[in-house]
Structure formats: structure tokens, C-alpha cells
Structure 1
Amino acid sequence: MDTAAGPVADVAGRGRLVLAATPIGNPGDASLRLREHLAAADVVAAEDTRRLHRLCAALGVAPAGRVLSYHEHNEVARTPALVQEVAGGATVLLVTDAGMPSVSDPGYRLVHACAEAGLLVTALPGPSAALTALALSGLPSDRFAFEGFPPRKPGQRERALHELAAERRTLVFFESPHRTAATLAAMVAAFGAARPAALCRELTKTYEEVVRAPLGELARWAGQREVRGEVCLVVAGAEEGAGVEELDEAELVARVLERVGAGERLKEAVREVARRHGAVARELYDAAAAAQRASRAGAGAAPRG
């Protein structure tokens, strides 16, 4: 069973990995503890060292330890060396460009590796774009799901969103500005134009903006302008019973075979269609397999299961 240690200062002489939340826009949101650790850590691993130095300049601190880059392109190679630093007694401070490391940012691999090695991992809490957007959205915040960035490819994005159509928790997404309009249009197709939502951009910055409207209106709004800045999309969860389309057996089988034709295995296709439409998976599998055999009349091929 994992156990958490007390405050970092109370574990003298022991190496540790410290995950540090950085401002998501306004440097004034930096915590006192972040300033202290930037000035004292033995190693500062930063997603972008140039941004780190700009942040330090804004905060009036100078890293005393070694500064190195740690981003999605080198984290696999650099993780073992950082684990060794912690194992040797060093304090390694991990920062990303904004917000908490490992939340849609580098960090997970290093945390996992340190935990597996029995090393101390702690955090400096702070700004979070996902939680800030959720709080500002005006949508229910008692239960929510953070979905990160939707897939970039249109087909994968549409499939991922359709799988969330019946999710009753509020959904929080990150998105790049140049894909925001296309993602909102895909959300309209998956969730319906009337689903309440909020587009939050440039949070905590000078031009912060929160646009609250049904998805259809948000999609039109984004399609009529150049969306700029860091974007969070918050979408209300489905109402009870929403997102479950009742189909007869022939229609369900057709949906399954369509997914199989696109390359999905029969079992997975049946499982997903049954989940989405409230069908009995075993019965649907038998019907789909029979339909598959019939379509291959005389071929003697077994269904891909």
C-alpha cells in the first residue's frame, strides 16, 4: 500500500520528486512554495526551459540547481536518470508550461517510475485550467470527467465523442484554438445542438473570455471567427435516459457489421453497440455472427471474434 509522507521540509536528507503546479496565465498565481522550490531544488526538469526562465524572471527567483528539459519527446530517455537523481538524495522539481505536471502534460512516466522504486513523490498544488474552466462554466461540478484533448483525426474524434454521448457527468476538454470550431461541430453531432456548454479561453489572462451557450450556438460562434488562445470546453452531462437510442435487432446488427467493416473485431463491436443502446451483448453477438455467416454464404469463414 502506498503511503504519503509529510511536508517536504520534514524529510531532511531524503531525495524526492516534487510536482509543481505553475500559473496557467497570470504569474501572480504562483504560490510561495513554488518560488521557494524553484530557488532551492537540486534539479529543475521543465517542459520548456525558455518558458521556465521567463517565469523565474517574472517571479524574481533564480534556479540554484541544474535546469534541464523534460518533454514528450525526451521523457522516456530522461526518466531513468531523474529517478537516479531522486534515489541519490536529490530534490527534483518537475514543472510544465502551465498547470499540474502529468495532467495532459509530461510527468506520468516519472511519477510512476519513482513510485515503483519506492521513492518519495509529493506535489505543490496550484492553478489548474481544467478546474478553473469547470468552476467558471456554470455547469454542474459535483461530478465531472476530464477528457483532455480529443483525438485530432476527424474519424477518431467523432467516435470518441459518440462514446461519451450518454455520459451523465460534466465533461471537460482541452483543445487547440485552430481545431476548436471542428471539435464543437463534432460535439453537436455527438451530443446534440441543445446540450449546454461553455467555451473558456485565455483563463487568468488579460483577455479571458467565457462563452456559455448550447453547443449549436457555440459551434456557430467559433465558426464565425478566429479562436485564439488556450481553450477549455466544458459540456454538460447527458440527462437521464438521453443518448440511448432504442433500435430493433436488425438495426443493431447493422451497426455492429458497419463497425466490423471498418476494422473492429466482432466482440468489441458488439460490446460497444450493446452498451450504447442497452442491448444484451450475448444475444446481439449471436445475431451478428449469424448475419455475418449469411453474408458469406458458402465461403465457410468464421466470424472474427
Structure 2
Amino acid sequence: MSNAAPSEPGVLVLAGTPIGRVADASPRLVEELATADVIAAEDTRRLRRLTAELGVEVRARVTSYFEGNEATRTPQLLESLLAGQRVVLVTDAGMPSVSDPGYRLVAAAVAHGVPVTAVPGPSAVLTALAVSGLPVDRFCFDGFLPRKAGERRRRLDALADEQRTMVFFEAPHRTAATLTALAEAFGDERPAAVCRELTKTHEEVRRGPLAELVAWAAGEVRGEITIVVQGAAEQAPTDDPETLRALVAQAEADGTPRKQAVADVARRSRVPKRVVYDLVHRKGEQ
């Protein structure tokens, strides 16, 4: 009996699962769960509940695949794929690899020539965008912000000039702190939406300026949270020397080192950094 590897590898299937109501599951999700050789699940207990509610009889080998064992479990799943098996990856809700386990396995599969496909399904990112009432022609997803205040502030400072609508995930107990940080970084009046328990029985979407949402979040916040924030307004180029000097001086007064202040002002004003640098240093020499 030959132990040679099959001439063709298997297929990795990223299967989107409902973010709320089980009725949102697609017929293809049911088919993939019923016919898989291996199912890798972020939480095997949730998988069992899902398949029971969908009436799926699982014949596949089921294994856990979550943040704590991704690094060690990826080579094992890759071995199954290279042996010609169909591996279905599911997370607790939504699309695998979008702020969920999956990226490592996808990267490994691609590197070894294993086909990767997906079962389209519900996505908290796209659902929140669609119901937010904010511009959706251009957007970016920034996942979970850092928990530490200093790291979070630096991340948001880097997004200060982002003109695309921004989407963030957040835990309910950190929502108030995150909204406060967003208001400090982007201004109290920046339009935003907090989407809670999307597609579930207690779905709620709160829309308004960030200051208003901060006040709302001062009470108890529960459930799965997605925050959508409108991007910055496009600014016309600024080349007035006194304005540029004043902007750098203000940034320095706020604690930004001069080199960084010059770079930030140049970027926001859309003028060459050398121009701002020369203006500031010539002023200082006068």
C-alpha cells in the first residue's frame, strides 16, 4: 500500500457563520458542514449548538482552532489539506480571519498551493456600515483598538486625517472608554454610530455625534459592539506661512516633538515637509 501524498491537495473553506440569528445561515454553509472531512472551530461547543439548530449531522473530524492554539494547530491542519482533505474553518460568528482566527492557516495554505475558498456569510463590519447612515463608498476596518490608553491614543492619532469611514470592534465594558478616546482624537462633533447586538433580538443602533454617544455609553453597555465613525473632512491645501508656523507651534505646545509636529502639519496641509521645516526654523532665527 502506497503512502505517497495525493497528486492534488484538498481545499480550505472559510465558512461565514451567523452573527445573530441562525436563520441567516446559508444553504451552502449547511452543505459544507455536512460534507467536510475536517471542521476546525474556534469553539467546538458553539459548533455543536449551531449544527444542532441547523439539523446537520456532522461526519467530519472536529478540532478546535482558536487564538491560543493557532500556531501549533496550523501545521496539523495544513497536513490534512496536503493529504487531500476538505477542511472547513468556522469561528464563533462572522467570517474567519476578520479579527478572528484564520489568517495563519490561509497564509500557510496559499504558500503550499492549497486552494482557498469561502462560504459568504454575515459580517458585522458590512452590516454595521450598511445601517450606520454614514458614507460607505470608501471605508477601512481597524479591528479592536489597543486596550492601553497610550497605545490607543497613538493609534487614533495616526487616523486623525483618515477620510474614509472607519469601523472598529469593541468589548461592551470598554465601549465608554473607546468612545471617549475617539471624541478626544476626532472631535466631539464627529458623526458616528454604535451598533449593538446586530441581527439579534435586542439589536440597537445609536447614531449621533461622538459626544452624544459618550454620554449614552456612560450607562451599562451590553452585547457585541461595532463602532462606525465618519472620516475626516478633506482639507484644502494650506500654504500660508503664518498659519503653518502657528499649527506647528500649537502641536509643540500640546507636547509633540518639533520634528513630528513639522511632519504632521506638512501632511495635513498637503505641502512639502521641507517647506514647513524651513518656515519654522527661519522664524526661530529671526
TM-score where L is the length of structure 1? 0.81
Tell me if structure 2 keeps the 8 A contact 1:256–1:270: no
Residue of structure 2 in register with 1:56 after alignment: 51
Which of these residues, 80, 101, 108, is aligned with residue 106 of structure 1? 101
Q: Is 1:232 the equivalent of 2:226?
A: yes
Q: 1:277 to 1:159 in 2, by over 3 A?
A: farther
Q: Helix, strand or coil for the counterpart of 1:126? A: coil
Contact persistence 1:253–1:284 (CA under 8 A):
no
CA RMSD of aligned residues (A): 2.8
Work out whether 1:41 is the aligned partner of 2:36.
yes
Contact conserved, 2:194 with 2:207, CA < 8 A, in 1?
Answer: yes
In structure 1, give the amino acid aligned to 2:272. Answer: V
Say yes or no: does 1:75 pair with 2:67.
Answer: no
Q: Deviations over 1:12-62 (max 9, x none)?
A: x75010000000011111111111111111110011111111111111113
CA distance in 1, matches of 2:224, 2:124: 9
> Is 1:196–1:235's contact at 8 Å kept on the other side of the alignment?
yes
Q: Does 1:138 align with 2:133?
A: yes
Measure, in 2, the Cα distance between the counterparts of 1:54 and 1:64. Answer: 15
The match for 2:83 is 88
Give the gaps of 5 or more residues in structure 1: 1-12, 291-305
Contact 1:253 1:287 in 2 (8 A): no
- From 139, 151, 156, give the equivalent of 2:151: 156
Aligned residues, how many?
Answer: 273
**Equivalent residue in structure 2 for 1:121, among 116, 124, 135:** 116
| 8 A contact 1:256–1:288 mirrored in 2 | no
Matched residues in 1 for 2:261 and 2:103: separation? 30
Match of 2:267 among 269, 275, 298: 275
SS at match of 1:28: helix
How far did residue 253 of structure 1 move?
Answer: 7.2
Q: How far apart, in 2, do the equivalents of 1:40 and 1:183 lie?
A: 42
Distance in 1 of aligned mates of 2:148 and 2:264: 20
Q: 1:252 aligns to what?
A: 248
SS of aligned partner of 2:195: strand
Unaligned runs of at least 5 residues, structure 2: 1-7
- In 2, distance between residues paired with 1:132 and 1:112? 26
Percent sequence identity is 59
2:4 maps to: none
Name the TM-score, length of structure 2 as normaliser.
0.86
Cα–Cα, structure 1 residues 112 and 259, in superposed 2: closer, same or farther, change >3 Å?
A: farther
**Cα distance in 1 between the residues matched to 2:78 and 2:277:** 47
1:203 matches 2:195 = no
